[in-house]
Homo-oligomer: A and B are copies of this chain.
């Protein structure tokens, strides 16, 4: 195995290692490669705002998760690094109703020694742009490097 997106089995292994808010929200990891991650969510009533559309906080969460992942890919999934968000920005371009299946597609844009940057689009099933954002992240150590 080399610099390739994960096959389905590895994808599921990584997905189930993601804890807390990712699972609570109902996110799914659909694609994960060296510089790209795709996270999907089926919009339920609990994800909405008072105008009955996708809540801005859900949008921000999906972008944050996908961008954090796209800069911490490692060949060996059990070596998973953590990403720490330093800063993120989101622009909201269109609403989405309950029942939408939305996808955050994040791409790593730069990578230094400890800091990486990413941008991310949030799309609906038809590829319509719902939001887009960008972020700056600190890349954690490999699990094998941790004390």
Against B, the Cβ 8 Å flags (1 = close, 0 = not) of A28-70 are 0000000000000000011111111001111011101100100
Question: Most chain-B Cβ atoms within 10 A of its Cβ — which of A56, A80, A140?
Answer: A56
Measured CA separation A109–B47 after assembly (Å): 24
Copies of this chain present in the complex amount to 4
* B46 & A24 in contact (Cβ 8 Å cutoff): yes
Mostly, the A contact residues are mixed
Measured CA separation A65–B56 after assembly (Å): 8
Q: Closest 9 CB pairs between A and B? A: A57-B61, A60-B60, A93-B110, A21-B55, A89-B89, A20-B48, A24-B46, A56-B85, A56-B64
Which residues of A are interface residues toward B (Cβ below 8 A)?
Answer: 17-25, 45-52, 55-58, 60-62, 64-65, 68, 80, 82, 84-94, 109-110, 115, 117, 119, 129, 132-136, 140
Listed A/B pairs (21) with beta-carbon separation below 8 Å: A18-B50, A20-B49, A20-B50, A20-B55, A23-B46, A24-B46, A25-B57, A55-B64, A56-B64, A57-B57, A57-B65, A60-B64, A84-B92, A85-B90, A86-B86, A86-B136, A88-B90, A91-B117, A93-B117, A110-B129, A119-B132
